[in-house]
Structure 1
Amino acid sequence: MTRYIFITGGVVSSLGKGLASAALGALLQARGYTVRLRKLDPYLNVDPGTMSPTQHGEVFVTDDGAETDLDLGHYERFTGRPCTRADNITTGRIYQDIITKERRGDYLGATIQVIPHVTDAIKDFVRTGNEGFDFVLVEIGGTVGDIEGLPFFEAIRQLGNELPEGDSIFVHLTLLPYIASAGELKTKPTQHSVQELRSIGIAPDILLCRCDRPIPEGERKKLALFCNVRPSAVVEARDAGSIYDVPLAYHQAGLDNEVLRAFGIDVKGEPDMRRWDDVSARVHNPEGEVNIAIVGKYTGLKDAYKSLIEALAHGGIANKVKVNLEWIESEVFEHEDPSPYLQDVHGILVPGGFGQRGAEGKIRAARFARERKVPYFGICFGMQMAVIEAARNLAGVPHANSTEFGPTPEPVVGLLTEWLRGNELQKRTAASDLGGTMRLGAYTAHLKPDSRIASIYRSDVISERHRHRYEVNLDYRKRLEDKGLVFTGLSPDGVLPETIEYPDHPWFIGVQYHPELKSRPFEPHPLFRSFIEAAKAQSRLV
C-alpha cells in the first residue's frame, strides 16, 4: 500500500521545501520504508532548461535526460535514489500535453477546462508508477496563494478525497519570524497561511515551522489552536549549521514520529541514523581546511551551482577537511591579472556555463593552474576552455576558439550535430530549439586504463550525466597530445572526447560531463574526493 505526503509552503518563498522533503524522505528510509519524491512546479516553462541560472538556479539533469528543478538534486543526495523525468512536472508540460491531445481530437469535441482536464492530468502524474513504494512525497512548488499554483492545490485537494481514507496527509512548511522589537516569534503569518489553505479545502495535518530559535510552549499551543492541529503536530524546523544536520534535527523535533502517527502507524523503535551521525560529525569536526576558487559566470546566485557546492562539500567530508569556497566572477580576469586572486588557493574549479561572456577569464584561470601547478578541475565548459588554452599557448593555434562564440578559423570546440544515444542517432542543427536539444542524461565513456582518471574511478568504463551542446574537436587531438594534453576518455565509438588531463601535473583534469550531479554526502563522487585530496596536498605547499 502506497501512502502520499503532500508538502506545501506558506508565508514566503525559499523556505526550503525541497530540503525538508528530502530530509523527511531520508528519515522514512532510516526507518526501513521505501520512498519516492516528486516535484510539481507551477511555472509555465515546459522545463527549466531555457531559464536563466541567475533567476532559477541550477538545472538538475537525470540519467534519462530530463532537465529538472534543483530540488531533485536534494532528493537524490538525501535518499540515494536516482530521480527520473517522471519525478518533475511543470504547468507548461501539462498544458503542452493537453493542447497536443486537443489538437489531435482526443477529447472528442469537449470543452477543455482547468477542472477537470488540468487537475486530472496532475493527478494522473502524481499517481502513476508508484507501485512498490511505501511513501510518495509530493512537493508543490511556490507558495500558497500564488495564482499559478491554484490548479495544483486543487488537484491535491481532490486526491486527498479520492485516495483511500488514511492514505494521504498534508504537511505545511511555514515561517515563524522573530520580531526583535517585540522580543517574540510571531504566529500570525502562519495562521493566515493555513487560513488560505483551508479556504481552498486543504487542512494541514502537520505544521513544519521554520524559525531561528526554539518555539515557546505558548506559541506552540496557539498555533495548534488556531490552525486546528495537535500541539505535537507543530514541529520545529530550526535553522541548522549544515544541511546535513537537517535529518537529525527533524528527528529530534519529532517529525518522522508525527508523520507516522498521522497515518495511524505505530511508532516502534528508533530510525537508523548512523550514516547521518557520521556525516554530521565529519562536517563539524574537520582536521584541516582547503581553499577552492570557483571561477564562474553565475556567481551572483549560488543556487546556480548548487550540486557543485554540495559535491565539493562531499569531497571535504571524504577527506575530513572544511572546504572554503572563493567565488570569482570570470569576467574579472579579462581585465586583471589572475595571480592576486589565485596565488593562495589550493585548487581551481571552472564549472559549466553557456555563452561568450567570461570565457576569456576562464581560459586565463586554466592557464594559471597549468603553469603554477595548482590542482585544476574543469567541468563541461571548464574542460573546453582548458583545451582552448592549451591549443593557443602550447600547440601553436593562436586563434583557437569555440563556434559557440561565432565563426572562427580554428574551431577547437564546435557544435555537436550528431551523436548516438544507445542505438539511436540523435541529430541537431544550429537552428534547433534551445530547450531539450542538448546531449542530455547518462552516457558511457571509455577511459585509458593507465590514466589518472581511470585510477580515480578504479574502472575504465564509466557512466556520467551530460548537459551540453558543443564538443571539443578531435581533429586537434594529435597537436594537443604532442604538447602533453592527453585525451584520456572517449565515447564508446571514439568520436566524442569525454576527459582530458596533464599526466605531468599534480592534478589537472577536465571532463565534458557533470560529475557533481551524482555525488552524495555518504558516497562522495570519486573525482571530487580526489580533487579535494589534491587540494589538501597543495595546502601543505602554499
Structure 2
Amino acid sequence: MAKYIFVTGGVVSSLGKGITAASLGHLLKARGYKVTMQKMDPYLNVDPGTMSPFQHGEVFVTEDGHEGDLDLGHYERFIDENLSRESNFTQGSIYQTLIARERRGDFLGGTMQVIPHVTDAIKQRIRRAADQSGADFVISEIGGTIGDIESQPFIEAARQFKKELPAGDAVFVHVTLVPYIAAAHEVKTKPTQHSVKEMRSLGVQPDFIVCRSDHEVDAAVREKIALFCDVDADAVLGCEDSPSIYEVPFKLFEQGFDVKVCKRMGVQAPPIDLGPLSGFVQAARACEESCDIAVVGKYVSLPDAYLSVTEALRHAGVALGVNVNVCLVDGGELSDDNAAEILGGADGILVPGGFGQRAFEGKIAAARYARENGVPYFGICLGLQAAVCEFARNVAHLPGASSAEFEEDLAHPVVDLMPEQEDVEDKGGTMRLGSYPCKVAPDSKAFEAYGEEVVYERHRHRFEVNNAYRDQLVEAGLRISGVSPSGRLVEMVEIPDHPWYVASQAHPEFKSRPTRPHPLFTGFVKAACAKRG
C-alpha cells in the first residue's frame, strides 16, 4: 500500500510549501522509492485554465492535457516524473462533479453535504493518484493557509483519510513562518504556535513542522516550538532561505528529514543518491560567465507567470556553464521605435505564450528587432504567432497581417482558429492541450537541437498558422521546420539565414529539468552566448 504525506501551510501564504513538498519527494525518490505528487486547491474555479496569470502565476500543462497549478512544475522538476490530471484538483471541480451527480439523481433524494459527500470525493481523488501511479509515496499539498474557510473540507478529508489507514501510513507536515523581528534581534515562535493550535482545533496534529525563515532557526527555538506544539524535538526542522530552490533538498537532507519520515511511517531508508542534483547545484555555483535574455511578455509584473520559462533558461545556462540573467520586458510598452533602446543590450530575445491582444504588437516588434539585427530569437506558442505575423508583414509583403484571435475582418489572417475549435463555446479545458507529436525537418536548427525526427511536446492553444498562407510564407524565406504527423499543422518555424531564429507552437519549457535541460532552450542560450562572445 502507498504511504501518504499531507503538506499544509501556516501563518501566511507563499511560504514555499510546494518547494518543501517537492524537496521531500526528491529525497524519497533518490532513495529508490516511487513518488507521485498532488496539489489540492481550495478555490472554486474548476481549474486555473481560465484564470489570469496575475492571479496564480503560470498555468502548467501535463502530458495528458490538464491545466494545473504552477506547483506541478516544481513537482515535475524535482522528482523528474511526468504527472497527470490526477495530480491537481480544485474545490470547484469537486463541487462540479457532485452537483452533476445530484442532478442525475445519484443521491436518491438524500441531502448532499460537505460531510460526508465533499470529503469523500476529496478522499477518492487522493486514492486515485495512488492507484494510477502505483507510487510508494503520495505527497499531497493542501493549498491555502490553515484557518482559511475554503480549505477546511480538505483538512477534514485528510484527517479522515489518515484515521482510516493503518497507523503510520499517513503523516502531516506543517510548513510555517518563523519571522525575525529586527528590533528584538530574535525570531518569534508565537505565529507558529497559533497556527498549530488552529490546526489542532480542526482535529489534525502535525507530525513534522518545517520552519521557514530568512534567519537561522536554532536548536533552542526548534525545541521551544516542539514543546508548545506537542511534537518531537527532532521533528521540527529549519528551512532558511536559500540562494537557489534546488539547494532546499540538501538543507532538509542534512537534518535527516527523509530518514525521519521513513522511520515514522515504518519503512526502510535505503541508501540515497543525490549525485545528479548535487552536480547541478555545484555547476550552478561554478558559473562565471553570463548572458542576458529579454523575455517579452504581458504579465511581467508577476514573474511567476513565466516560471517554467525562466527555470528552463537557467537549466540550459547551467548546462553551458553560464548564468542566465532574465530581464522581463513589458510588450505593451515596446514598439519599433524603441525596440533598439529597450532590447539593444539583450543577447537573446524570448517571446513566451499568452492570450489577448494587449502587448501583441510589442511582441511583433521584438520579433522584428531580433530578425533584422541577428539577435537569437525563441518564440513559444504566441511567440511563434508573433514571429509569423511579423515575417508576413515585413518580408512576405502582406500588410496588416495578424491573428484572427484579435480581429475578425483581417485582410491577411496568417494565424487563424483551428477548424476543430470553431464550434467550441466553453473556454475551460477545451483548447488543444497536452502532448502531441511533431515531425522535425532535417538540416534545421530544431533538428540540430533535438537530434530526433519525431518529438513530443505539450500544447495549449486554439489558433494556428493559417495554411492558406503557408506557401507564400515559405516562398518569402520562412522555413517550416516542424509539422504534425499529417503535415496539416505547423508546429515549428525558423529563418534559415539567421544565427538562431526558432519558434515553436508548443510549450517546451514544461519538459525541462535541472539535470536534463530542454534541447531547444540549450540551443537558444548557446546562440545567445555566441552573440555575447
- Normalised to the residue count of structure 1, the TM-score between the two structures is 0.96
1:336 Cα deviation (Å)? 4.5
Superposition RMSD in Å:
1.2
2:5 equivalent to 1:5: yes
Q: Which moved more, 1:210-219 or 1:393-402?
A: 210-219
CA contact (8 A) 1:247 1:276 kept: no
Native 8 Å contact 1:350 1:362 kept in 2: yes
**Structure 1 residue identity aligned to 2:186:** E
**Aligned mates of 2:77, 2:332 — CA distance in 1:** 32
The answer to whether the aligner puts 1:437 opposite 2:430 as a matched pair is yes
- Once the two structures are TM-superposed, the CA of residue 246 in structure 1 deviates from its matched residue by 1.1
2:66–2:84 CA contact under 8 A, matched in 1: yes
Give the counterpart of 1:416 among 403, 415, 418.
Answer: 418
One-letter amino acid of the structure 1 residue matched with residue 488 of structure 2: V
User: Is 1:14 aligned to residue 14 of structure 2?
Assistant: yes
Identity of aligned residues (%): 54
Question: What 5-or-longer segments of structure 2 have no aligned partner?
Answer: none
Distance 2:20 2:452 in 1: 35
Q: How far, CA to CA, are the matches of 1:182 and 1:383 in structure 2?
A: 54
Which amino acid is 1:457 matched to? Y
Aligned runs of 1:6-405 on 2, under 5 Å? 6-131=6-131, 132-267=134-269, 269=271, 271-334=272-335, 336-405=337-406
CA deviation vs aligned residue, 1:374-413 (integer Å, no higher than 9, x gap): 0000000001010000000001101211111112121111
Q: What stretches of structure 1 of length at least 5 have no aligned partner? A: 419-426
2:119 partner amino acid: T
Shift of the 268–454 alpha-carbon distance from structure 1 to 2, 3 Å rule, reads closer
* Structure 2 contact 38–129 (Cα < 8 Å) conserved: no
Preserved contact between residue 36 and residue 129 of structure 2 (Cα < 8 Å): no
| Offset, 1:218 | 2.1
Q: Partner of 2:469 in structure 1?
A: 476
C-alpha separation between the residues in 1 aligned to 2:232 and 2:140? 23
SS of aligned partner of 1:479: helix
Does the 8 Å CA contact 2:23/2:78 hold for their aligned counterparts? Answer: yes
- How much does 1:155 deviate? 0.2
Which amino acid letter does the alignment assign opposite residue 63 of structure 1? E
- Preserved contact between residue 404 and residue 415 of structure 1 (Cα < 8 Å): yes
Question: What CA distance in whole angstroms lies between the structure 2 residues aligned with 1:268 and 1:401?
Answer: 57
Task: State how far apart, in whole Å, the 2-side matches of 1:334 and 1:364 are.
Answer: 5
Q: State how far apart, in whole Å, the 2-side matches of 1:435 and 1:267 are.
A: 43
Q: CA shift at 1:268, angstroms?
A: 5.6
Name the amino acid aligned to 1:28.
L
Instruction: List structure 1 runs of 4+ shifted beyond 2 angstroms.
Output: 264-269
Alpha-carbon distance between aligned partners in 1 of 2:243 and 2:358, rounded to the nearest angstrom: 35
1:423 corresponds in structure 2 to none
The CA distance in 1 between the partners of 2:222 and 2:508, in whole Å, is: 43
Q: CA deviation at 1:216?
A: 2.4
Could you tell me how far 1:207 is from its partner in structure 2?
0.2
Q: How far off its partner does 1:9 sit?
A: 0.3
Cα distance, 1:178–1:471 mapped onto 2, change above 3 Å: same
Are 1:235 and 1:254, in contact at CA under 8 Å, matched by a contact in 2? no
For residues 87-138 of structure 1, the C-alpha deviation after alignment (integer angstroms, 9 at most, x for no partner) is: 1110110001001111111111111000000000000110125243211101
TM-superposition CA deviations, 1:428-485 (whole Å, max 9, x none): 43x6111111110011111112222112111111110000111111211222112211
What amino acid sits opposite 1:9 in the alignment?
G
2:379–2:504 contact (8 Å) kept in structure 1: yes
1:519 matched to 2:512: yes
How far residue 492 of structure 1 moved from its aligned partner, in angstroms, is: 1.3
Q: Provide, for residues 183-236 of structure 1, a one-character-per-residue CA deviation record: whole Å limited to 9, x for no partner.
A: 100000000000000001000000011012221222111101000011111101
CA contact (8 A) 1:41 1:140 kept: yes
Deviation at 1:31, TM superposition (A): 1.1
SS at match of 2:145: coil
For residues 477-496 of structure 1, the aligned pairs below 5 Å read 477-496=470-489
CA distance in 1, matches of 2:356, 2:66: 22
1:530 equivalent in alignment to 2:532: no
Q: TM-score, normalised by structure 2?
A: 0.98
CA distance in 2, matches of 1:448, 1:267: 47
* Cα-to-partner distance string for 1:231-260 (whole Å, 9 max, x where unaligned): 111101111110111111111132112212
